[in-house]
Amino acid sequence: MCLSGCSSGNDDAATRAAERLRTGLQAGDGAAACDALSDEVRQELAQSQGTSCETAVMEAGIPDAGRVVDVKVYGTAAQVRYAEDVVFLGEFPDGWKVTAAGCTRQADAPYDCKVQGG
Amino acid sequence: MRTFIRDNSLSLFFLVIFFAALVGQAFAGWAQFNNEQMASGLAEIGFGRYLTSADFAVDVTENWQSEYLQFLLYILATVFFFQKGSPESPARIGLGTDKEQKLGHHALDDSPAWAKAGGVRTSIFSWSLTIVMASIFVVSWLAQSIAGWAAYNETRLGDRLDPLSWGSYLVNADFWARTLQNWQSEFLAVGSMAVLAIYLRQRGSAESKPVGEPHDSTAVTGA
């Protein structure tokens, strides 16, 4: 059974996936940023913006995240907290992918995210 | 081998149906987990991964703890409480005398060594069934709380909510709903068994009075 903190491998893998999004955005590389997103998020992003994922992700308003503050992994879900952002991830057959980013905490409700699935 | 099976058929029967039910639960739970994953836009997992998941662990341990609690309470309640007419009730409440319990110099030649020994060893052995059942209950309930915490947090992260600390989970509705839904059913089953066995019979069962035994006969079993 995998509990939070029991698997630094999973923590690292989830963090690497979140970092791929962050570095892709910082480099202005929409393709690299999109590659870090789950299929559902990619489709939702392209559909809602009426453009390609590569363009939409750069225009989504995801903030410059800063440094990683905390990583929590429970089973197939993870949360990477940055100084300036919160990113949610899921584990897929091809590895960890971002399921929501640019997230703002709301009282007693799910995080409101710039990028998220449907 | 044949003698072993005949001498232990009751234990073996329950061992076999336990594993059959556990395997069935594993496959059903796996399918249910993957249905929920798909509905949340997350990936399905393999059967081996499910067997080591918090989701499977909490479903197993929440039932284990309640079953061991049920029998623990039944063992203790039948020391201190009385139910007239029930084969599950003691003839009279209390721990009984050393003579009745075959302890110390009242022990038989083939009594367990710790029943003859006296002192701390006999005290421990006198409560050993309760001690072991209580220990399994506590460990199972602790395991439920940890596995339930992890499974609940996995769901929360999928819903874009912050995970809870273990301490917060212990006062969360999910933990108590899982716990109490099992407890109430166990208490109902064991309580109704004690009452129904006053008036109803199963010929040949050690859990029933003999068929012709009067309804008001207490602490009489049929086998």
B8-54 pLDDT, tens digit each: 999 999 999 999 999 999 999 999 999 999 888 888 999 999 999 99
CA of B139, closest CA in chain A: separation in Å?
16
For residue A32, give the H/E element and its range.
helix A30-35
Is B162 strand, coil or helix?
A: coil
- The Cα–Cα gap between A36 and A96 comes to 8
Q: Does A107 contact B at CB distance below 8 Å?
A: no
Q: Does B58 contact A at CB distance below 8 Å?
A: no
Q: Does B57 contact A at CB distance below 8 Å?
A: yes
CA distances from B198 to B85, B104, B201, B217 (A): 5, 35, 8, 8
Residue A87: strand pairing partners: A80
Taking CA B182 as the corner, what is the angle to CA B176 and CA B183, rounded to the nearest 5 degrees? Answer: 85
Clarify whether residues B137 and B156 are in a common domain.
Answer: yes
Q: Encoding tokens for residue B8?
A: 């232990």
Q: Encoding tokens for residue A25?
A: 């955005």
User: Are residues A87 and A21 in contact, defined by beta-carbon separation less than 8 angstroms?
Assistant: yes
Nearest CA in chain B to A116: B160
Clarify whether residues B177 and B82 are in a common domain.
Answer: yes
CA of A45, closest CA in chain B: separation in Å?
14
Clarify whether residues B22 and B114 are in a common domain.
Answer: no
Report the complex ipTM.
0.91
Interface of B with A in 67-96 (CB under 8 A): none
Q: What percent of chain B has pLDDT over 70?
A: 99
The per-residue pLDDT for A5 is 43
The stretches in chain A having pLDDT less than 70 are 1-8, 118
Q: Does A108 contact B at CB distance below 8 Å?
A: no
The per-residue pLDDT for B60 is 97
- The Cα–Cα gap between B211 and B223 comes to 11
Give residues with Cβ within 8 angstroms of A52, minimum separation 6.
A30, A46
Mutation for testing the B interface, residue in A3, A42, A44, A113 having most B CBs under 10 Å: A3
Clarify whether residues B154 and B212 are in a common domain.
Answer: yes
Q: Encoding tokens for residue B86?
A: 């029930």
The per-residue pLDDT for B221 is 77
The per-residue pLDDT for A8 is 61
- The Cα–Cα gap between B151 and A74 comes to 7
The per-residue pLDDT for B46 is 95
Per-residue b/e over B140-178, b at no fewer than 16 CB within 10 Å? bbebbbbbbbbbbbbbbbbebbebbeeeebeeeebbeeb
User: Are residues B146 and B167 in contact, defined by beta-carbon separation less than 8 angstroms?
Assistant: no
pLDDT tens string B96-129: 999 999 998 999 999 999 999 999 999 999 999 9
User: Are residues A96 and A7 in contact, defined by beta-carbon separation less than 8 angstroms?
Assistant: no
- The Cα–Cα gap between B117 and B45 comes to 55
Mutation for testing the B interface, residue in A1, A41, A96 having most B CBs under 10 Å: A1
Report CA Rg, chain B.
22
Mutation for testing the B interface, residue in A4, A43, A98, A104 having most B CBs under 10 Å: A4
Interface of B with A in 151-170 (CB under 8 A): 151, 153-155, 157-163
Clarify whether residues B27 and B113 are in a common domain.
Answer: no
Clarify whether residues B153 and B219 are in a common domain.
Answer: yes
Number of domains forming the structure of chain B: 2
Tell me the residue length of chain A.
Answer: 118
Q: Which pLDDT band holds residue B223 (cuts at 50, 70, 90)?
A: low
Taking residue A4's Cβ as centre, other Cβ atoms within 10 Å add up to: 22
Per-residue b/e over B198-213, b at no fewer than 16 CB within 10 Å? beebeeeeeebbbeee
Is A66 strand, coil or helix?
A: coil
Q: What are phi and psi of A72, to 5 degrees?
A: -125, 125
Tell me the residue length of chain B.
Answer: 223
Interface of A with B in 30-49 (CB under 8 A): 38, 40
For residue B102, give the H/E element and its range.
none
Q: Give mean pLDDT, residues B187-212.
A: 93
Clarify whether residues B39 and B89 are in a common domain.
Answer: no
B41 with A93: Cβ contact below 8 A: no
The per-residue pLDDT for A4 is 46
Clarify whether residues B41 and B135 are in a common domain.
Answer: no
Clarify whether residues B28 and B62 are in a common domain.
Answer: no
Q: Model-level pTM?
A: 0.90
Clarify whether residues B118 and B174 are in a common domain.
Answer: yes
Q: Does A15 contact B at CB distance below 8 Å?
A: no
CA of B63, closest CA in chain A: separation in Å?
18
Q: Of B11, B29, B51, at which residue does a domain stop?
A: B51
CB pairs under 8 A between A and B: 76
Q: Give mean pLDDT, residues B161-172.
A: 97
Tell me which residue has tokens 């020994």. B117
B147 with A1: Cβ contact below 8 A: yes
Q: Of B31, B51, B71, at which residue does a domain stop?
A: B51
Mutation for testing the A interface, residue in B42, B61, B144, B149 having most A CBs under 10 Å: B42
CA distances from A73 to B2, B29, B33, B111, B153 (A): 51, 21, 18, 54, 9
Clarify whether residues B212 and B223 are in a common domain.
Answer: yes
Clarify whether residues B42 and B70 are in a common domain.
Answer: no
Domain region containing B190: 53-223
CA of A20, closest CA in chain B: separation in Å?
19
For residue B130, give the H/E element and its range.
helix B128-158
